[in-house]
Structure 1
Amino acid sequence: MLALTGGTVITMTGQIYEPGMVLVEEGKIVAAGPLDRIPAGVEVDDVTGYLVMPGFIDAHCHVGVAEEIYREEGDDTNEYTDPVTPHLRAIDAVNPADLGFEDARSGGVTTVATGPGSANILGGEMAALKTAGQVVDRMVVRAPVGLKAALGENPKRTYAREKKMPATRMASAALLREALAKARDYQRKLEAAAAGRGEHPGRDLKMEALLPVLRREIPLRVHAHRADDIMTALRIAREFDLLLVVEHCTEGYLVARELAAYGAMAVVGPVITNRAKVELKGISLETPRILAEAGVTFAIMTDHPVVPIQYLALSAALTLRGGLSEERALRAITLDAARILGLESRLGSLEPGKDADIVVLSGHPFDPRTRVVKTYIEGRLVYLPRP
């Protein structure tokens, strides 16, 4: 058993213990509370003077898929040959040796949702991974955590050059609807075959990948910056009764009440960016505050490598300039990020039974002077600054 003792413990469930103690055994949190009697025979890590928090979660990035340093050699972000590729799986592209994982640990990021980019209408399955490991299969927390889709400029730009659909926003929506409608027909044929009312339609990997979305087992995670594209995503989600996560959600402040009324969630960002394309014209640091006021659950992303993943906490800090509360900004990279990934029972707070993913900090994570002192994943020390 390991005991982290003496630090200020922020549980992310409303309790702050100063001084506090976190007990860890077999990769799980046993207890988090005030510094009281230290059990006999435990390994003690004295973190007096430091802040202790749950490890940070980046709910949207491309770490391991778009590798650091490399260009074509290590870039597996987009499959440009087909606009509809729901059957692609992030785990088949992740390189655990990507330096981005080391950067993540140095920034206190212990879990990431990584996956395909936004060139395709349907890009493939996203996966939640721990940021330490040599074999991707052992790093997986949950896969898939959503099916990546995209609307707006990126699919149009990619395929119009090839004289293919989609060259318009109408075509983008049509291709997405068409794929979902085909998958629904495939689902009905499978159900009929199972009930003895017809022949098995044969295995179709594209359709199989869409079935968990139609069953509401995972969300459709739609890249959408502009308000009109967000509304298209909502329109299609309503039509097929889908769980919806809006990725980027740049102009979400214009349609926050619509998102809240449907129960959609959002992953906002990257925050540290410029107006690199037309659909970023309306970027605002007030987006997270307005989403919060409307009742939308959201997380903050880096979109690594767009923003280096070690700057996730700084990205969340900037949302305070737009009026977001400090507590809600912290939740956006811990508990609310875990909720969006369907992992709130395992990650995002320091509670008994949850994974012992812990970051020890020299100060508040939103202070740019703060350093990550130690990072633990499942109770194992995975980052210690070089002397």
Structure 2
Amino acid sequence: MAKILIKGGTLYTMTDDEKNIFQGDILLENGKIKAVAEQIEDADAEIIDATGCYVLPGLIDAHSHIGLFDFNHDKSVDDANEMTDPVSAAVDARYGMNPKARELKVAYEHGITSILFTPGSGDVFCGQPFVGKTYGDNIFEMTVKAPAAVKIALGGNPKNTFGDMKRLPMTRMGVAHVLWDTFRKAKEYLDKKEKGEKQPYDANMEAIIPALRGEIPCKIHCTQYDMLTAIEVAKAYGVRFSLEHAWGATDYLDEIAESGCDICYGPIATYRSPGERRKVDVEAVKMLDDRGVNVAIITDSPILSEESLYHHIGEAVREGLSQERAVRMVTINPARQLGLEDRLGSLEAGKDADVIVMKGRLGLDTDAKVLYTIMDGNVIYRREV
């Protein structure tokens, strides 16, 4: 694998160092970042001249359904929602994923190198999301982490799914009951398992155990007052969790900050409508960040397109968030949420060589565009100038 030396760009390292944005060089070798410094020389490396450009870690979208939803044909395809039982925690999103989805090309051409691919929100316990790279032919080879979370959904989606069937849960009361009852059963199942007591194998309970043990987070689709339900139940069972979408978060800023949860906010550009999308409060992104909450910005693609991530970042900046903090919300912040900060999200030696070179400042310049996308040390996209 050839070495690549990116020279002279403004590096957004996204580290916690005081000096995390500076002009410098970055050396990539054997699929990893070899070195980051103000000056690097290597006669054997392929040179990319980044003078006047910005060099960032590959972007991360922490909530997407591309490859699972397909809206590209006369009849749309939904392989993201099982919707045969409100508890479908055991289903694995990798087995519904189409690695040839055209939206993946859109993603890496816009610098998005990793995505959390998640089941939809038609059930209460929806299944197992995974983190994957956006370039490749084999989804199992593209996978970075599986399972990466337990996907849970509150509110209108599961309510409508099972309300149409005239079965539990057809109200928010019912959804909360399923949430409490399933965690109770999973905890009892885990206790018996740890004590060595015999019990029937239950794939759904097995899928929830890593969350109860703190090994992976729960990603809880919820908005407005459902956020308090999510916080109450998650705290009761001691699970790490993120609130997904989180429209209406400005009503519960203190409760969210005190809970210690993460936020995956968005899509920002969604329309305001009656019900769950009534309060699209983009200003929440800065207000939560100011309170120390780890916030990621998401697209929910293909509900909105992957390239709309640029618009979301710009809207957060327009609401007063600094550009550097906004960039963290699509790099190191989601990496930390997913327990992948040792591989993704910043420009540091030893991490995956997922790097983008941009003309223009992401979130500030409306004509900002990717010139190079490098993934695992290979140039997979080069913009024709």
TM-score range relative to shorter protein: over 0.9
Higher alpha-carbon deviation: 138-147 or 313-322: 313-322
Secondary structure in structure 2 of the residue aligned to 1:5? strand
Q: Return closer, same or farther for 1:15/1:191 CA change in 2, 3 Å cut-off.
A: closer
C-alpha offsets along residues 305-363 of structure 1, whole Å, 9 cap, x if unaligned? Answer: 12101221221121112222222111000111111111111111111111111111111
* Separation in structure 1 between the aligned mates of residue 380 and residue 338 of structure 2, nearest angstrom: 23
Asked whether the 8 Å contact 1:256–1:296 carries over to 2, the reply is no
State the distance in 2 between where 1:359 and 1:343 align. Answer: 18
- Counterpart for residue 381 of structure 1: 379
Aligned to 2:259: 262
Q: Is the 8 A contact 1:68 1:100 kept in 2?
A: no
Q: Distance in 2 between matches of 1:348 and 1:236?
A: 30
The one-letter code sitting in structure 2 at the alignment partner of 1:7 is G
For 1:80 and 1:16, locate their aligned partners in 2 and report how far apart those are by CA, in whole Å.
Answer: 46
Task: Report how far residue 24 of structure 1 moved.
Answer: 0.5
Q: State the alpha-carbon separation in 2 of the partners of residues 291 and 71 from structure 1.
A: 41
- Aligned to 1:140, which of 128, 137, 143? 143
One-letter identity of the residue aligned with 2:144 = V
Which residue of 6, 20, 28 corresponds with 2:8? 6
Q: Distance in 2 between matches of 1:154 and 1:37?
A: 52
Distance 2:251 2:37 in 1: 41
8 Å Cα contact 2:27-2:40 kept in structure 1: no
How many residues are paired up?
Answer: 379
Q: CA deviation at 1:188?
A: 1.8
Instruction: Please give the per-residue CA displacement for 1:67-102, whole angstroms capped at 9, x wherever unaligned.
Output: 351465642121122111000111111111001110
1:22 aligns with 26
Write the letter of the residue equivalent to 1:209.
Answer: A
CA distance in 2: counterparts of 1:93 and 1:6, whole angstroms:
42
Q: 2:270 aligns to what?
A: 273
Shift of 1:277: 4.4
How far apart, in 2, do the equivalents of 1:23 and 1:344 lie?
A: 19
1:212 matched to 2:214? The reply is no
**1:182 aligned residue (170, 185, 205):** 185
Identity %: 37
**Structure 2 SS opposite 1:6:** strand
Question: For 1:71 and 1:324, how far apart are their aligned partners in 2?
Answer: 40
Residue type at the aligned position of 2:81: N
User: Separation in 1 of the partners of 2:263 and 2:335?
Assistant: 12
Counterpart CA distance in 1 for 2:341 and 2:75 is 36
Equivalent residue number for residue 130 of structure 1: 133
CA distance in 1, matches of 2:274, 2:351: 41
Task: Name the CA distance, whole Å, in 1 between partners of 2:218 and 2:290.
Answer: 24
Q: Is the 8 A contact 2:26 2:40 kept in 1?
A: no
- Equivalent pair of 1:222/1:247 in contact (CA under 8 Å): yes
Deviation readout 1:215-237 (Å, 9 max, x if unpaired)? 111111110111x1000000101
Matches within 5 A, 1:70-109: 70=73, 74-109=77-112
Please state if 1:348 is matched with 2:345.
yes
Distance 1:276 1:101 in 2: 29
Q: Which residue, out of 310, 324, 331, partners 2:328?
A: 331
Offset, 1:44:
1.4
Which residue identity lines up with residue 6 of structure 2 in the other structure?
L
- 1:38 match: secondary structure: coil
**Structure 2: runs of 5 or more not aligned:** none
Q: Which residue in the other structure is 1:203 paired with?
A: 201
In structure 2, C-alpha distance between the alignment counterparts of 1:82 and 1:63, rounded to whole Å: 23
Q: Deviations over 1:105-159 (max 9, x none)?
A: 0110000001111111010011111101100111111111211111111111111
Task: Give the equivalent residue in structure 2 for 1:320.
Answer: 317
Amino acid at match of 2:257: A
For structure 1, the residue ranges without an aligned partner over 5 or more in a row are none
Secondary structure of 1:236's partner? helix
* Change beyond 3 A, Cα 1:89–1:276: farther
Structure 1's consecutive aligned runs of 4 or more residues displaced over 4 angstroms after TM superposition are: none
Change (3 A) 1:153 1:65: same
Work out whether residues 152 and 224 of structure 1, in 8 Å CA contact, stay in contact via their aligned partners in 2. Answer: yes
Partner residue, 2:161: 158
Match of 1:67?
Answer: 70
Q: Considering only aligned residues, what root-mean-square deviation do their CA atoms show, in Å?
A: 1.4
What secondary structure is seen at the aligned counterpart in 2 of 1:145? coil
Q: Secondary structure of 1:232's partner?
A: helix
Mapped contact 1:285–1:321 kept (Cα < 8 A)? no
Distance in 2 (alpha carbons) for counterparts of 1:91 and 1:334? 23
- In 2, are the aligned partners of 1:159 and 1:165 still within 8 Å (CA)? yes
Do the aligned partners of residues 343 and 71 (structure 1) sit closer, same or farther apart at CA in structure 2, a change above 3 Å counting?
A: farther
In 2, the alpha carbon distance for the partners of 1:117 and 1:275 equals: 20
The residue aligned with 1:298 is 295
Q: TM-score, normalised by structure 2?
A: 0.95
SS in 1 for 2:149: strand
